């Protein structure tokens, strides 16, 4: 009997039911879209934040106190410690290897350039192939780690030994342009070399006053084959929290469980820790300017999406509820008749709730499908990449939709079942 | 007559005006709150991005220092730097500090000493991880802050005393380490003292090498600011720090895009929800319309009546919604940015427009149905 009544009600009031289901579906679309995007936005924004440059710096553990003022080195090169270039792949072979977006080593040596003394000659990777056991095509260099470097002209080839980038400030002072030739003399070893200026480099940092060439060239000129002075690593990390702050103060004080959680979470501090474990004489430190800044901003964006999502959710829920409310109050007469024919209040109540579950369920499913599509659209438009789908959103959204429909039905249904059949049938309510 | 019909239909017993009004008001509230928030987001996020530190540098014009000047008058007068800093609008300037570098001998070896304005530095470097505490005042000449690596190599802890000695000038002083800095950058190898102390130790009274600024401006905006400052102060070179200012612009673009899309999605869906309610409301009045037609109302009169009704409800709903929405925007602003959201008049016509369009679209379908109503059938109760 119950199912018969349910079917009847759907067949009779088809149009209204469809309208209600469409409303639920729209709300569900909205919820799915926001949910999917907010889950992925941290990761997506972390990738965008890579434009601020690398967030971990690796230097030799026993490096003497560097006396560097404004990019000029006051310490002699002799007796300094270096990292081995051969150790670089190990840094990409840690637990969080997939979070390491790129790495770029540097080695600098003071050179004379015409009249100018103590100009930094910086050697680095631009976009160099660095085959790894599980990724033979891996390429890395400053073009990945320092997205803010801007080159007017062409980037040098990593295997060419006669191309160089010249910082804009230096170039302006010496009147150098693209295609000019510069010759430099190493102040310590006396080796000289000449380069073709392939492009002018603007970074807003010390590189503006320096000459940047492939790493191998500097190693050869300074007589430091296979050595690098420091490595900048760009890693995808999650914002710091209490646990990582505790770990940063003293790893020893963590309990075993806390240590495991910390170690297996992509905090900038735990990634730095794992790099130190992988390379024996390395000291890896977060560049807090980038690491902490990222955390602050990503946290804000997530909070923003969350509150916007909540506001939208409330308004959608109200829309659905009022819709259900309307469809039920309209059927007062029908209900009066049912009661007059002997239906108990509970049965009628159940009938409405059953309807709400069906309408909510169908609307939720349709809305979920639409929402996934919409989320992909947003991802492609804003970030140029697809959004990862969290399948848990499916049951979640359907449940929420049913709850919204039920919430909208419960109150009016109760009010109506309480009516006297006579009053309703007579047209007085 | 029309007026009476209107009043009657809006206040009559069968009208469910409350429901429609509520849903329109909620819709308008969300529209206006989101619009307010969206209009403010660029400036708010830009302030958040200041967590990345200084994005602007003001230095003496290159070459001035070398122009035959003795080393004792290196850098430039701090008054000139301060005047240049003061030319940045106060509501745009987050923090600023002059920097004066010099080599000093500590107990265990040489180190780079930096003279700074501590209150300004604190706002420039919110990302510093400090053990111990910050130095709060600009003229503290008994305390210093030291970089983590320098502290480790000199075996210094918070609370230790250390002597700063400058042989060339024959100046020395003893300071207490108040905080150890973890920045992950060159600051880890430097020791920071108050600017007046550094000037005295280095024999460079009233001078500084350059100043760093944290300004709410990104990309082209920062370039424009630099150009203005260089024009006003011909003896300084002002330039944005590309790493920060350029990236700020890029990130803000993404956030703007994301918010615009999310807001658009929400607007469309809220509109449709309001729509559904209104559709149901008009549809319910079919019998009444039938009766009116039977009594001689023509189609045009009925259309006009439904539209006038919708508009009236919409107006009331929007007024309610604007009030609620303003409150909602403040709640959102406080929740996310701990700041009030500015009220912008443009929100009013925008919300009104969106809501009216939504309501009128909602009215079109049922009105079409209503004019087709055959009075006889309706009156018979079909």
Q: Tell me the pLDDT tens digit for each residue of B295-328.
A: 877 878 878 887 888 888 888 888 998 998 888 8
Binary contact (A288, B183; C-beta < 8 A): yes
State the smallest CA–CA distance between residue A69 and chain B in angstroms.
Answer: 7
**Phi, psi (5° rounding) for residue A347?**
-65, -45
- Angstrom CA distances, B125 to A190, A234, B105, B197, stand at 40, 21, 26, 21
Closest CB from B244, B255, B276 relative to A323: B276
- CB-based contact, B125 to chain A, within 8 Å: yes
pLDDT in tens, chain A (429 residues): 667 767 776 666 677 778 778 878 888 888 888 888 878 877 787 777 777 778 888 888 765 556 666 555 555 554 578 888 888 888 888 888 888 888 899 988 888 887 777 788 899 999 988 888 888 888 888 888 887 888 888 899 888 888 899 998 888 888 888 888 888 888 878 888 889 999 999 887 778 888 999 999 889 888 888 889 889 898 888 877 778 877 777 777 788 888 888 888 888 888 888 888 888 888 888 888 777 777 778 888 888 877 777 777 777 677 777 677 766 766 777 777 777 787 777 787 888 888 889 888 999 999 999 989 988 888 888 778 888 888 888 898 899 889 888 877 877 777 777 766 766 666 554
Identify the residue with better confidence: A263 or B278. Answer: A263
Which residue's entry shows tokens 């150790």?
A87
Identify the residue with better confidence: B11 or A256. Answer: A256
Q: Which residues of B touch A316 (CB under 8 A)?
A: 269-270, 273
CA quadruple B204, B206, B210, B215: dihedral positive or negative? positive
Binary contact (B242, A22; C-beta < 8 A): no
Per-residue model confidence as pLDDT tens digits over B194-210: 999 998 888 888 888 88
Binary contact (B125, A303; C-beta < 8 A): no
- Please list, residue by residue across B50-79, b when 16 or more beta carbons sit within 10 angstroms of its beta carbon and e when fewer do: bbbbbbbbbbbeeeebeeeeeeeebbbebe
Closest CB from A37, A148, A296 relative to B247: A148
pTM: 0.71
A190 touches A143 (CB < 8 A): no
| Residue A14 to residue A33: CA distance in whole angstroms | 28
- CB-based contact, A86 to chain B, within 8 Å: no
- CB-based contact, B134 to chain A, within 8 Å: no
Binary contact (A26, B103; C-beta < 8 A): no
- Angstrom CA distances, A365 to A35, B68, B108, stand at 15, 79, 71
Q: Which residues of B touch A202 (CB under 8 A)?
A: 242
A337 touches A427 (CB < 8 A): no
3-state secondary structure of A222: coil
**Phi, psi (5° rounding) for residue B76?**
-145, 165
Two tokens at B161? 């005393």
Q: Which residue of A has its CA nearest to B129?
A: A288
Q: Which residue of A has its CA nearest to B27?
A: A315
């Amino acid at each position: 009997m119950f199912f018969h009544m349910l079917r009847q009600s759907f067949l009779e009031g088809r149009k209204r039911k469809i309208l209600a289901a469409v409303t639920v579906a729209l709300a569900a679309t909205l919820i799915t879209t926001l949910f999917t995007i907010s889950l992925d936005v941290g990761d997506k924004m972390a990738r965008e934040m890579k434009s601020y440059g690398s967030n971990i710096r690796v230097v030799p553990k026993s490096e003497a106190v560097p006396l560097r003022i404004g990019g000029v080195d006051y310490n002699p090169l002799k007796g300094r410690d270096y990292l081995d270039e051969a150790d670089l792949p190990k840094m990409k072979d840690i637990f969080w290897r997939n979070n390491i977006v790129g790495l770029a080593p540097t080695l600098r040596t003071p050179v004379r350039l015409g009249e100018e003394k103590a100009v930094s000659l910086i050697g680095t990777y631009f976009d160099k192939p660095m085959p790894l056991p599980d990724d033979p095509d891996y390429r890395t260099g400053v073009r990945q780690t320092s997205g803010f470097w801007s080159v007017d002209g062409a980037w040098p080839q990593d295997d060419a030994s006669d191309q160089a980038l010249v910082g804009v400030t230096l170039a302006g002072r010496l009147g150098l342009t693209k295609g000019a030739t510069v010759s430099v003399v190493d102040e310590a070893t006396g080796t000289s070399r000449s380069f073709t200026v392939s492009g002018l480099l603007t970074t807003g940092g010390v590189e503006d006053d320096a000459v940047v060439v492939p790493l191998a060239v500097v190693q050869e000129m300074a007589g430091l084959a296979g050595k690098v002075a420091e490595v900048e690593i760009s890693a995808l990390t999650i914002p710091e929290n209490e646990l990582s702050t505790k770990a940063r103060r003293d790893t020893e004080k963590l309990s075993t469980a806390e240590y495991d959680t910390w170690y297996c979470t992509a905090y900038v501090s735990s990634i730095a820790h794992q790099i130190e474990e992988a390379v024996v004489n390395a000291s890896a430190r977060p560049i807090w300017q980038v690491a902490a800044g990222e955390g602050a901003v990503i946290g804000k964006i997530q909070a923003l999406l969350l509150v916007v999502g909540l506001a939208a959710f409330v308004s959608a829920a109200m829309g659905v509820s009022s819709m259900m409310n309307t469809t039920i109050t309209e059927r007062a007469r029908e209900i009066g008749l049912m009661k007059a024919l002997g239906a108990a209040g509970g049965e009628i109540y159940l009938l409405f709730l059953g309807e709400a579950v069906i309408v909510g369920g169908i609307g939720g499913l349709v809305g979920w499908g639409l929402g996934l599509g919409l989320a992909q659209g947003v991802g492609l438009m804003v970030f140029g990449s697809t959004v990862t789908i969290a399948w848990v959103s499916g049951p979640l959204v359907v449940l929420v939709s049913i709850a919204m429909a039920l919430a909208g039905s419960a109150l009016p249904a109760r009010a109506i079942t309480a009516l006297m059949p006579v009053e309703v049938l007579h047209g007085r309510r | 007559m029309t007026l009476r019909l209107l009043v009657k239909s809006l206040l009559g017993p069968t009208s469910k005006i409350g429901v429609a009004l509520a849903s329109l008001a909620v819709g308008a509230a969300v529209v206006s709150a989101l619009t307010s928030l969206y209009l403010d987001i660029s400036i708010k996020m830009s302030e958040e991005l200041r967590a990345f530190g200084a994005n602007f540098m003001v230095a003496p014009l290159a070459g001035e220092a070398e122009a035959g000047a003795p080393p004792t008058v290196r850098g430039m007068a701090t008054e000139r730097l301060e005047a240049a800093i003061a030319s940045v609008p106060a509501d745009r300037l987050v923090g600023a500090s002059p920097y004066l570098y010099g080599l000093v001998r500590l107990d265990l070896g040489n180190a780079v000493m930096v003279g700074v304005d501590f209150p300004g530095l604190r706002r420039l470097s919110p990302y510093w991880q400090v053990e111990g505490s910050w130095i709060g005042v600009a003229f503290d000449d008994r305390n210093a802050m030291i970089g983590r690596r320098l502290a480790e190599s000199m075996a210094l802890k918070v609370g230790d005393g250390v002597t700063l000695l400058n042989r060339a000038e024959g100046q020395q002083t003893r300071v207490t380490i108040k905080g150890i800095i973890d920045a992950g950058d060159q600051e880890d190898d430097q020791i920071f003292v108050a600017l007046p102390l550094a000037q005295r130790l280095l024999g460079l009274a009233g001078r500084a090498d350059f100043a760093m600024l944290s300004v709410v401006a990104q990309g082209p905006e920062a370039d424009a600011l630099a150009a203005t400052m260089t024009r006003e102060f011909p003896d300084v070179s002002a330039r944005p720090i590309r790493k920060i200012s350029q990236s700020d612009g890029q990130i803000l673009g993404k956030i703007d895009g994301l918010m615009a899309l999310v807001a658009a999605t929400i607007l469309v869906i809220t509109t449709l929800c309001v729509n559904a309610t209104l559709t149901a409301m008009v549809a319910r009045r079919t019998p009444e319309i039938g009766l009116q037609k039977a009594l001689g109302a023509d189609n045009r009169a009925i259309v006009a009546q439904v539209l006038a009704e919708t508009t009236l409800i919409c107006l009331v709903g929007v007024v309610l919604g604007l009030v609620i929405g303003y409150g909602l925007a403040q709640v959102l602003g406080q929740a996310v940015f701990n700041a009030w959201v500015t009220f912008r008049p443009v929100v009013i016509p925008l919300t009104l427009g969106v809501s009216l369009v939504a309501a009128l679209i909602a009215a079109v379908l049922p009105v079409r149905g209503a004019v087709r109503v055959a009075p006889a059938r309706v009156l018979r109760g079909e």
